[in-house]
Every structure is written in structure tokens, then in C-alpha cells.
Amino acid sequence: MSVPFLIWLFIFKYMPLWGWTIAFQDFRANRKVFDQHWVGWKHFKFLFQDEHFFLVLRNTLAMSFINLVLGFFTAITLAILLNELRNIAFKRVVQTISYLPHFISWVVAASIISTVLSADGGIINELLMAVGLIKEPILWLGVGKYFWGILGASEVWKNVGWNTIIYLAAITTIDPAQYEAAEIDGAGRFQRIWHVTVPGLKPVFIILLIMNIGSLLESGFEPQYLLGNGMNVDYSENLDIFVLKYGIQMGNFSLSIAAGMFKTVVSFILLFSANHIAKRLGEDRLF
């Protein structure tokens, strides 16, 4: 049963790696790949001397870190709260509502977010003015410093319910006898959560943390591309958009592939480093 997946993996993930050679060439589309002019590390040197690349790298790391922290905190919190609900019907309704946004495409989601944050009748501005926190509407997507917060909140809204599913599944594997023993010992609800539920989620948390650290340079593409504009570009442009801009829009395939290689290699190092640290600390690990 795994053979079709392995074939897909080889064709779409490993065969394209030959294209990395373009990063060491001044690639021209009218020449064959091995008839190109080889330039060695030229494009990598340019990357690490380009201030704009470091700005993009800063944005990528900042957005990834925000998504990582908010993603884990909100998903675990919601999973614990749902687990504590005794009304099964209400629990199912809340869970369904929470993960429905995951199935909305980012094109639709970005349109909703832009409308909500609009300075012309957007509900956020209306509410803030109604309670007296602001005196006039704010063009939220036009101010760069607000972009990371908007992106983090958008990611939580869209994915928190979906991310909660795996933690709810992990909670079901906890032995009910542990809750009974804690209750007999006089532990209250919050004490049972802290001393039974949270430790029970720890193995799943560690595995997911290792996987997410390996993807630290993958802060996303669609939300940044759809919500970004000329006014917030200094905060919204990440590595994926950088690669798109240089590779597709400017035709500099060599530089874009060099940037993509940098992201892949660093992600590989981060993944193995996080796994090794978990192993040294005696925690669960991927391999």
C-alpha cells in the first residue's frame, strides 16, 4: 500500500532536486541546463550581502515564531476546554464551528479579513470606536507594524479548531484511572488538568514541536501574498514571496533557487538539531 506514495515522493520530491544545479549557474532559459555558465557560489554570496534578504529573513522568522507560539497555546487550551465540557451536544457544536474555517480557502479568508479590518465600515474599527479605544478608523493592513499580529490572529482563527483535533485524540489515550486516582487524592478540576491532562499531552507536544521547528522558515505563502501590499511589504514579504518575486516576476531563477536551497538546508539542520536535543533530554522524538 505504501508503494504509490513512495513513487509519488520520489517523482515530486527527489527528482526535482537536480534543479538545484541552477543555483550555481547564470541560468538562461534559451540554453540547456548543462550548457549554462557556471558561477559557483556567486548567488549565495549576493544573498548574504543583500540587506533586503535579511529583512525578508527577519519577517519569515518573526511570523513563524508568532504562528508557532499562538498555534500551540491556543490549540492545547481549546482541546483542554473542550475535554472538560460535559454537554456532548454543545461540545460537538463548538468543535465543529471552531474547525470550519480550516476548510475556507485563503482567498476567501483574506477577503473576509480585509473586510473586517476595513477603514470604511469594518467591524473592528466600528467596535473600537464604539468603546472609545480609537477616535477614527485605522487602515490596519496599511500599517506594517500591525501585520504580524493580524497574521497571527488570522492563523489562529483559521486553524485552531483543526489543530485541536490531534490534542483531543491524545487526551483520549490518557488512562481514566489517573483521573480517578487524582480525584480520590482530593485534586480539583484544575489540579487534574495540570497534573494529569497536561503531562499526558507532553509526548504529542514534543513531536509536533520538533516538526514545527523544522519548518521554522516556512511561515506560509498565501496569507502573506493575499494580505500583503505596498504599504506593509517591509513586514509581510517572506522567503517564499522573495523566491516568487525573483524567480517568476524578475526571471532570476538562479537567485531564487539559491534562496530556496538556503531555506531547505536550514530547515533540515533545525529538524535534526531539535530531534537530537529532545533525544539528549530523554524526551520523545521523531527518530
List, for residues 221-232, the tens digit of each pLDDT value. Answer: 999 999 999 999
Helix (H, G, I), strand (E, B) or coil at 26: strand
User: Percent of the chain beyond pLDDT 90?
Assistant: 59
How far is residue 47's CA from residue 45's CA, in Å, rounded to a whole number? 5
Give the model's confidence band at 275: pLDDT under 50 very low, under 70 low, under 90 confident, else very high. Answer: confident
Is CATH 1.10.3720.10 the right assignment for the domain spanning 46-280? Answer: yes
User: Percent of the chain beyond pLDDT 70?
Assistant: 99
Instruction: Give the amino acid at 165.
Output: I
What's the confidence (pLDDT) of residue 26? 87
- 249: pLDDT strictly greater than 90: no
Cell 515564531 identifies what position? 65
What's the confidence (pLDDT) of residue 286? 66
Give the count of alpha carbons within 13 A of 188, CB side only.
1
- Name the helix (H) or strand (E) containing 4: helix 3-9
List, for residues 108-140, the tens digit of each pLDDT value. Answer: 999 999 999 998 888 999 999 999 988 899 999
Whether pTM > 0.75 for this model: the answer is yes
How is residue 106 written as a grid cell? 485563503
281 vs 83, residue with greater confidence: 83
Arithmetic mean of pLDDT, 172-188: 91
36: left (phi over 0), alpha (psi -120 to 50) or beta: beta
Q: Round the CA-based radius of gyration of the chain to a whole number and report it.
A: 23
How far is residue 186's CA from residue 192's CA, in Å, rounded to a whole number? 10
Locate all alpha helices (DSSP H) within 85-146, ordered by sequence: 88-99, 106-116, 123-130
Residue boundaries of the structural domains of the chain: 46-280
Contact 198, 115 (CB under 8 A): no
Q: At what angle do helices 147-172 and 88-99 cross, to 10 degrees?
A: 140
What's the confidence (pLDDT) of residue 250? 83
Least confident range from 128-132, 165-169, 249-253: namely: 249-253
What's the confidence (pLDDT) of residue 233? 93
Least confident range from 111-115, 143-147, 209-213: namely: 209-213
Arithmetic mean of pLDDT, 101-110: 94
CA angle 13, 18, 22 (to 5 degrees): 125
How far is residue 284's CA from residue 85's CA, in Å, rounded to a whole number? 29
